[in-house]
Amino acid sequence: MSTSSETTRATGDTPETFATGTGTPVTGAGVTAPARGTRLALRGATLGRPGAPVVTGVDLDVAPGEILTVVGSSGCGKSTLLRTLAGLLPLLSGEVTQDGRPLTGPAADRALVFQEDALLPWRTLRANVELPLAIKGLPRAERRAQADAWLGRVGLADHARQLPHRVSGGQRQRAQLARALAAAPRAVLMDEPFGALDAQTRAGMQDLLVEVLGGTGATVVFVTHDVDEALFLGDRVALLGNGRLTAVRDVPRPRDRTAHDDPARVALRRDVLSSLGT
């Protein structure tokens, strides 16, 4: 595999370049003290549950502040990879590091966004967003102010006091995004967060994601089975298949809606699709 040579590439796409310039109003509550992204690395890693390895021989380096998308057919270990990086699943062999230090368990600086409703159904949207801030130990008033600011950023200011089951699936995912970003994590790990949404909602969510990530500088690992989503969002795209990490490719003109007919992008899309066997 040629992955290791490609992964050493320095990410030229610093976070500032993909702030879409929409000038999201952020209230004075100090929503984002810009946290620098973290570097995540896997060396010769075997991932999976004990006795049932799913992916073997993974060498992957996620640079600080980059968006790495991971594509692969279902059941190929995308979620396993993400859970390993989150610290929820121990490695079977090899090593996983964060900024060069071994990664031993889940931590607040690596937030996880789930596909399904991971919002706590007994908490209002606001209380859900407040939860990571409470765990951080922020005083109540500050929690509330920050949660409201984040809900505003994702367009849910009017729904702050609704319970999750009272809002739509898209709104729940926006709330989940706000909750993940509220505690200013240095890495955001996203497990097909828009997978259950219809195509239009999904496109809107991608734009929103790009917008709210702007300025946080967080490293993002974004798992999806949608190749177009992967090519739109990712600085690089990693391909999983047959229990291996088969390639990591640079994406030309990421997060540019007009780039979908860029010849380089079209060629990459064809490559990715053929290597996924579709």
Partner 1 sequence: MSRRPAARYALRAASLAAALGLWQLLTSLNVDLWLRFSQFPTVADVARAFGDRLSGPDYWTDLTDSLTRILTGFLLAAVLGVATGVLVARSRSAEDVLGPVLEVVRPIPAIALVPVAILLFPSNEQGIVFITCTAAFFPVLVSTRHSVRALTPVWEEAVLTMGGGRWRVLGSVVLPGALPGIFGGLSVGIGVSWICVISAEMISGQYGVGYRTWQDYTVVNYAGVFVGMVTIGVLGWLTSTAVELLGQWLTRWLPRTSYVPGGRMPRAAAVAVAGTGRRTQAGVPTGAGSALTSKDTEPGEARDEHLV
Fill in the per-residue mask, 216 to 255: x = in contact with partner 1 (CB under 8 A), - = not in contact. Answer: ----------------------------------------
Nearest to 186 by CA among 274, 70, 103, 247: 103
Q: b/e per residue, 231-265, with b = 16+ CB within 10 A?
A: bbbbbbbbbbbebbbbbbbbbeebbeeebeeeeeb
Do residues 193 and 175 lie in contact, with contact meaning Cβ atoms separated by under 8 Å? no
Nearest to 7 by CA among 37, 35, 42: 42
- Shortest Å distance, C-beta 121 to partner 1: 6
Of 7-15, 18-26, 227-235, 246-254, the segment contacting partner 1 by CB under 8 A is 18-26
Q: To 5 degrees, how large is the angle CA 225–CA 178–CA 65?
A: 65
* Binding flag, residue 196, partner 1 (CB under 8 A): no
Do residues 254 and 233 lie in contact, with contact meaning Cβ atoms separated by under 8 Å? yes
Applying CB under 8 A, what is the total number of residues that bind partner 1?
54
* Binding flag, residue 118, partner 1 (CB under 8 A): yes
Q: How far apart are CA 224 and CA 79, in angstroms?
A: 9
User: What pairing do the DSSP bridges indicate for beta strands 67-71 and 52-62?
Assistant: unpaired
Q: Contact with partner 1 (CB under 8 A): which of 86, 92, 175, 240?
A: 86
- Shortest Å distance, C-beta 14 to partner 1: 22
* Binding flag, residue 136, partner 1 (CB under 8 A): yes
Residue 159: exposed, middle, or buried by beta-carbon count in 10 A (0-12, 13-18, 19+)?
buried
- Shortest Å distance, C-beta 150 to partner 1: 10
* Binding flag, residue 111, partner 1 (CB under 8 A): yes
* Binding flag, residue 19, partner 1 (CB under 8 A): no
* Binding flag, residue 104, partner 1 (CB under 8 A): no
Q: Which residues bind partner 1 (CB under 8 A)?
A: 22-25, 27, 83, 86-88, 106-112, 114, 116-118, 120-123, 131-132, 135-136, 152-153, 155, 157-159, 162-163, 165-168, 170-171, 174, 183, 189, 200-205, 207-208, 211
